[in-house]
A and B are shown apart, each in its own frame.
Chain A
Amino acid sequence: MKIVVAIKQVPDTATQVKIGGDPKAIDTAGITWIVSPYDEFAIEEALRLKEKRGQGEVIAVSLGPDRVKEALRSALAMGCDRAIHLNDPAWANADTLATAQALAAVIKQEQPALVLCGRQAIDDDMGAVGAQLAEVLGWPCASWIMEEAVDADAKSVRVGRQVEGGLEVFDLPLPAVLSAQKGLNEPRYPTLKGIMGAKKKEIKDVKAGDLGLTPAAPQVAVKNLEALPARPPGRVIQGEIKDAVKELVRALREDAKAI
C-alpha cells in the first residue's frame, strides 16, 4: 500500500512570534522550525499502517522554501521511505488552494491508495488544505480522525471522526484523504539509526513546471499583520471585603459587562 503524507514545516510551538520588517510576514530570524505536530500524527499513522501490513511505501511531501528539507529529513528519520519537496519561488505566496493544487498534481503522479495530513498546521491554523486537496483530486475526505482501519485488500477505510461527545464512524472507498486529530496515536521519536539512514534516502526536488502547473494568483493574500494589543493592567480593588465585593460585582456588571 502506497501512502502519501503531506506535511508542513512551522515555527516551534515555543516561538515568540514577532512581525517582520515586511508587515505581511513574521520575522523568521532565530526561529526553530519543526514538523507541524498534527502532521506527526499523520506520519506515525502511515508508518503504522505500513508496518501492520508488512509492506508498502510511505512518501512525505511538503511545499515550501529550502529550509523545508530539514522537516522532510525528520520525516525520513521517523521512517518514511522517500520525500518530495515542492520547492519553487512561484509558490512563495501560495494560499491553501494553490498548495492543495500543487499537492494534488504530485499525488496524481504517485497514485497512492491513501493520503494523510494533519487536521491543521499550527502556524496559520487554516485547516483547509486537506479538504481542498480531496476536492481537487475528487477523492472522499474525512477530517479530524481519531482512528482508522484499512480493510485487508486496501479497498476501503473505516474511520472514527471526533465530534462533540463521541465518534462519528465512516466508511470511505480508497483512495481517500484523511486528516489526523490529536489522539490518533503517539508519534515515535526518530531512532539514531533512523537519523543516520535518513541521509541516504531520496528527497526529490519538484518545480511547478515539472507538474505542468503555473500557480495562479492566490485567492487569499495577507494584507497586514498586527500584534495583539498589550493587555491592560489588572485592577486591585482596595478596601473592606464587604465593599470590595460590591465594587467587584458592579465592575463586572457595568464596566466589563461580563455578568
Chain B
Amino acid sequence: MDFALTEQQEMIRKEVATLARSFSLDYWLEKDRKHEYPWDFVKAFARAGWLGAIIPEAYGGSGLGVTEAAILLHEICASGAGTSGASPIHFYVFPPMPVIKHGSERLKEKYLPKIATGEIVMSFGVTEPNVGSDTSRIQTRAVRQGDRWVVNGRKVWNTNARNATHILLLARTDERDPKKPLKNLTLFFTEFDRAKITVQEIEKLGRAAVDSNEIFIDGLEIPEENVVGEVGSGFYHILDSLNPERMLTGIEAVGIGRAALGRAVEYAKQRVVFDRPIGQNQAIAHPLAMAWAKLEAAEAMCLKAAWLFDHGQPCGAESNVAKLLGAEAGFEACDVALQTHGGYGYAKEFYVERLWREVRLYKIAPVSQQMVLNHLAEHVLGLPKSY
C-alpha cells in the first residue's frame, strides 16, 4: 500500500494550485455577481493543456487518469474558485470518458483532439424533468430514420448549455423493459444544434457564473456514426462517466471545504472578541478541527475510488461513498467556516458565503445523498430494495 503521490502528481498539484490561485477571490465574486462565464479562467487552463488531461496522447491529450483529474479539480476548488471554477473544467473530464472507452475510432478522431484543446465546449444531458433520479424512465426519444436518428424530448439541469458546442445525450431508443429497465437507452455525442434545441436558463442558489438550463429538443438530427458504443447499452456506457463524476465531485466538495476552512482558521486567529482570539475558544476550535479531520477522510476515499477506476477495478460503491462523504465534509467545513466568521460570514466580501452556497449543490447533484445510501443499502449490504 502506498499513499504517497508520485513526483509527477505532486507537481501537477503544485502547478494547478499556482495557476488557479492567479485568479483572485474577487474575480470569482465578480463572476458570481455579474453572472458571467469564467472564460479567462477556462482559457488559461486550456492554454496550459489541462483540458486534455484525460484524453489519450494519441488524440492530442496527456493520457492521465482520474486520479490526476481529481488532484486537478481539488486544487481548483481549494484555490477558492469553488464550483464556479471546477464545473467548466470537469466537463472536460467525465463526459469524454464514454467516448474514450466505447466510442468508435472515427468518433474519437473527430472529437477528442478538439476536446483536448478546449475548442469543444460540452454539456451532459441525462436528467429529465419528469423522471428525476430514476434514469430508467427517461422519455427523450431517439428514432432511427435512414442513416440518422431524430430526437425529441426535454432535459433539465443541463449545465453549460448556453455555451455548449456539443452534448453527450442519453435517449430512449426502445420501450422500457421492466426486467431490464436500464437497457434500451442509447448514448450520443453530437453537435449542440441550436436550430433544434431551445435553451432556457434556471436561476439558482449558487454558481451563477456557470449556467444550468432546461433544454427542449425538437427534431434534433444525429448521424448514426455519433452513437457512442452500442445502441441500447447507453446507460452502461455512461457509467464510465458517472463513477468518475461521483469521485470528482466528491473531491471538489472537499476542495471547497478546504478553501473555506483555510479562511476561517486565519479569521479565528485574528478576530479578537472578549479579549482573546475567537480561535482560542474550543467552541470555535473544535468544529474547525473536526471539519479538517472529515475533509482528510473524505479526500482519502475519493482518491481510493480514483485509484480503483484507474486500475480497471470495480468502483461503484467507492465512487458513491466518495461523493457522499465529500459532500458532507465539504458542506460541514463551509458551514463551520461561515459560523466562525460570525456576522461577517454572511457578508459577500468575506468570500465564504459564496462557497457555502456552492458546496450545498453536492448533496443533491450529480446524485443525491439518499440515492447513494439506497445504492449502498441494496448493493453493498444486500438489503431489500425500498422502492
Contact = CB atoms under 8 A, between A and B. Distances in A.
Complex A-B, nearest 3 residue pairs according to Cβ-Cβ distance, in ascending order:
A192-B49, A191-B49, A191-B48
Contacts of B47: 189, 191
Interface string A192-205: 11111011000000
B15 interface: yes
A198 B11 contact: yes
B50 interface: yes
A236 to B, nearest CB: 15
B12 interface: yes
Given A191-B49, A192-B52, A73 B11 contact: yes
Interface in A53-71: 70
B286 to A, nearest CB: 22
Given A73-B7, A199-B7, A192 B12 contact: yes
Contacts, number: 40
Contact of B8 (A189, A191, A193, A199): A199
Contacts of B15: 74, 77, 189-190, 195
B11 A193 contact: no
Contact of B48 (A190, A196, A199): A190
B11 A77 contact: yes
Interface of B: 7-8, 11-12, 14-15, 18-19, 22, 44, 47-50, 52-53, 62, 64
B7 A196 contact: no
Nearest to B21: A14
Q: B interface, by DSSP: helix, strand, loop or mixed?
A: helix
A70 B13 CA distance: 13
B96 to A, nearest CB: 15
Contacts of A70: 11
B226 to A, nearest CB: 28
A70 B47 CA distance: 23
29 contacts: A70-B11, A73-B11, A74-B11, A74-B14, A77-B11, A77-B15, A189-B15, A189-B18, A189-B19, A189-B22, A189-B47, A191-B47, A191-B49, A192-B12, A192-B49, A192-B50, A192-B52, A192-B53, A192-B64, A193-B49, A193-B62, A195-B8, A195-B11, A195-B12, A195-B15, A196-B8, A198-B11, A199-B7, A199-B8
A129 to B, nearest CB: 25
Interface string A130-171: 000000000000000000000000000000000000000000
A70 B14 CA distance: 11
Contacts of A73: 7, 11
A11 to B, nearest CB: 14
A44 to B, nearest CB: 14
B85 to A, nearest CB: 15
A189 B11 contact: no
B363 to A, nearest CB: 31
B62 A196 contact: yes
Given A189-B22, A192-B62, A195-B8, 20 more contacts: A73-B7, A77-B15, A189-B18, A189-B19, A189-B47, A189-B48, A190-B48, A191-B49, A192-B12, A192-B49, A192-B50, A192-B52, A192-B64, A193-B49, A193-B62, A194-B49, A195-B12, A196-B8, A196-B62, A199-B8
A190 B53 CA distance: 14
Contacts of B8: 195-196, 199
Q: Which of B14, B22, B64 has the most CB of A within 10 A?
A: B14
Contacts of A191: 47-49
Contacts of A196: 8, 62
Contacts of A194: 49
B198 to A, nearest CB: 36
B270 to A, nearest CB: 12
A160 to B, nearest CB: 27
A193 B49 CA distance: 7
Nearest to B50: A192
Interface string A176-219: 00000000000001111111101100000000000000000000
Contacts of A74: 11, 14-15
A194 B7 CA distance: 14
Q: Which of A73, A191, A192, A196 has the most CB of B within 10 A?
A: A192
Contacts of A193: 49, 62
A196 B6 CA distance: 12
Interface in A7-30: none
Nearest to A14: B21
A70 B12 CA distance: 12
A135 B7 CA distance: 38
A190 B8 CA distance: 13
A199 B12 CA distance: 12
Contacts of A192: 12, 48-50, 52-53, 62, 64
A73 B7 CA distance: 10
Nearest to B15: A190
A68 to B, nearest CB: 14
A190 B11 CA distance: 10
Contacts of A190: 15, 48
A174 B44 CA distance: 36
A76 to B, nearest CB: 10
A198 B15 CA distance: 13
A40 to B, nearest CB: 11
Contacts of B64: 192
A178 B360 CA distance: 52
Q: Which of A74, A190, A195, A198 has the most CB of B within 10 A?
A: A195
Contact of A189 (B7, B12, B44, B62): B44
